[in-house]
Amino acid sequence: MTDPVLSAAALESRAWPFEEARKLLARIKKSKTPKTEILFETGYGPSGLPHIGTFGEVARTTMVRRAFETMSDIPTRLLCFSDDMDGMRKIPDNVPDRSFLEPHLHKPLTTVPNPFGGDYESFGHHNNTMLRRFLDTFGFDYEFASATEYYKAGKFDAMLRRAAERYDAIMAVMLPTLGEERQATYSPFLPISPTTGRVLYVPMKNVDAKNGTITFADEDGRDTTLPVTGGHVKLQWKPDFGMRWAALGVDFEMFGKDHQTNAVVYDKICEILGGLPPEHYVYELFLDDKGQKISKSKGNGLTIDEWLTYADTESLSLYMYNRPREAKKLYFDVIPRAVDEYAQFQNAYGKQELKDRLMNPLWHIHGGNPPPPEQGSVSFSLLLNLVAVANTEDKSVLWAFLKRYAPQVSQATHPRLDSLVGYAIRYFTDFVKPNKKYRAATADERKALEDLSAALAELPEGSTPEAIQQKVYDIGRRDPYTTVQKDGSVGVAQTWFNMLYQVLLGEERGPRFGSFAALFGVQNTRTLIGKALKGELTGSPR
């Protein structure tokens, strides 16, 4: 049973999953037929290995599903549907041997041999397995569906026969969306050639609605008649969308912006076949480091496994929750911020009222039950800097710094922090270290750094981050770093801290300097300043 207090708050929440869940509630109220379940669906095109965008669609759909469940007692299901009967129209760039796949172009993905080796029946089966493996790792509650299995098992037979009966109505929707040349040969039915096994894009010579068959010229030139049922024929991708919605009774499906202009076509096909189109949610596309759309076949951007090499699953889920209708860069440099933002939301959650908790991304990431924060943990950005200046990739050495900074932490009591130490080592080694660029201090900056070192000498080892930060502020209140605040007080410009990052850490940005110095140690920080003044940090930190 739904919690009435939680349900009432959810009905008012402005978090985007609740907004989408309310649309589903409105849909149910308008329906003339009582709903016994709500079906959420996501699609996957296994022409390439799953990427983070694929995961994001399942994660976001799950967030809407959980939001709906706070408002209604109607059971829900999530179906992850793989379009694995599609023909392989081009060879992906990231396969080990392109020539191996060339003879199998245009065959259904579940009949194309697997180029990656292993005991997989086909290329499509391999990629489906990769998708399920990762979804299972995240603990998603879903059912997997294969287009090949659904077509061959007859689960779409009734709708396919209806498509033959309403062929002219479907063509009337599709033809205006096509160019003149394509109109002359278009058919919503794609037969699987009995002679070559390829998916054929050929015109129909006859569509027999009574017998549920189509007639076309096969690749050998002979007229061939096939039933539209039993997996002998599949639908073009646009009609297939609408047919699937009608056949399965899908209530909610989200898709990327590249589908937005076609959504009206999907809806019309669904209605022609007697179905009610689902609620849609259109999200913006992910971009790689060059601003290009991420593609499974190109293999650009981040893979699922690459993110998990450098950060945890929680940070990835947070990245998926945030601003789904904004185009976002999905590359390695977004990872540290996602890790730190997760910790910030985690620290805030326990102090929030119910209304604010429902706006906290962690409610949606963890289905209303996020884990408590590890007290005393440090930020990921701080760990990256510690790895750099400690000049080590040994976790035990880094933990020695951490235990001095926060004696209450340990690898046993702070497992997430321990995993972040490992992630920080890998991330620094692969991405930060190759791009570090220290610069020499100017004459004025040298004097400021000498004064900062002298000020730090006044502090005992083990001083608090606040005490150290105050010394940093005191030294920074000099030209050209002074600023006047709105209340008339003298502040310190960001350029002071930028100088510290550039000269001491070899980076443009960095953590709160007092926190860094407290973690690294006061004397170690003074030694670091001394090396910078001697020019020993110029170039590689090693």
Element (H, E) at 100: helix 98-101
In a domain, 112, yes or no: yes
Mark whether 273 and 395 lie in a shared domain.
no
Mark whether 353 and 496 lie in a shared domain.
no
pTM: 0.88
Mark whether 274 and 310 lie in a shared domain.
no
**HSE on the CB side for 17, CA within 13 Å?**
29
Q: What's the domain count of the chain? A: 3
Among candidate residues 365, 392, 416, the one where a domain is terminated: 365
**Ramachandran quadrant class, 378 (left: phi over 0; alpha: psi -120 to 50; beta: rest):** beta
Report which DSSP code applies to 435. G
Q: Do 21 and 71 touch, CB atoms closer than 8 A?
A: yes
In a domain, 217, yes or no: no
Q: What is the pLDDT of residue 406?
A: 87
Write out pLDDT tens, residues 152-206: 999 999 999 999 999 999 999 999 999 999 999 999 999 999 999 999 999 999 9
CATH of the domain at 119: 3.40.50.620
Mark whether 137 and 157 lie in a shared domain.
yes
Q: What is the pLDDT of residue 540?
A: 39
In a domain, 187, yes or no: no
Element (H, E) at 134: helix 123-137
Q: Is the dihedral of CA 101, 102, 104, 107 positive or negative?
A: positive
Phi and psi, residue 41, nearest 5°: -135, 145
Mark whether 246 and 351 lie in a shared domain.
no
Q: Which domain holds residue 337?
A: 297-365
Q: What is the pLDDT of residue 296?
A: 53
In a domain, 540, yes or no: no
Mark whether 415 and 311 lie in a shared domain.
no
CA-angle at 220, arms to 219 and 222, nearest 5°: 100
Mark whether 248 and 341 lie in a shared domain.
no
Residue 318, exposed/middle/buried by CB under 10 A (0-12, 13-18, 19+)? buried
**pLDDT beyond 50 at 541:** no
Mark whether 82 and 167 lie in a shared domain.
yes
Mark whether 421 and 301 lie in a shared domain.
no
Q: What is the pLDDT of residue 276?
A: 94
Among candidate residues 286, 319, 344, the one where a domain is terminated: 286
Q: What is the pLDDT of residue 138?
A: 84
Lowest mean pLDDT among 472-476, 484-488, 499-503: 484-488
In a domain, 375, yes or no: no
Mark whether 334 and 386 lie in a shared domain.
no
Mark whether 356 and 479 lie in a shared domain.
no
Confidence of residue 301 (pLDDT cuts 50, 70, 90): low
Q: What is the pLDDT of residue 118?
A: 84
Closest CA relative to residue 92, chosen from 120, 114, 118: 114
Write out pLDDT tens, residues 325-382: 998 888 888 999 999 999 999 999 999 999 999 999 999 999 999 999 987 778 999 9
Alpha carbons 366 and 350: distance in angstroms, whole number? 14
Among candidate residues 262, 286, 310, the one where a domain is terminated: 286
Mark whether 358 and 271 lie in a shared domain.
no
The encoded tokens of residue 324 equal 């789904």
In a domain, 101, yes or no: yes
**pLDDT beyond 70 at 300:** no
Place of tokens 């278009």: 186
Share of residues in the chain with pLDDT > 70 (%): 98
Alpha carbons 229 and 521: distance in angstroms, whole number? 72
Q: What is the pLDDT of residue 42?
A: 96
In a domain, 263, yes or no: yes
Q: How far is CA 127 from the centre of its chain?
A: 18
Write out pLDDT tens, residues 37-75: 999 999 988 887 777 778 889 999 999 999 999 999 999
In a domain, 195, yes or no: no
The DSSP result for 278-327, as a single string, is PEEEEEPPEE-TTSPBP-TTTT-S-BHHHHHHHS-HHHHHHHHHS-TTS-
Q: What is the pLDDT of residue 299?
A: 56
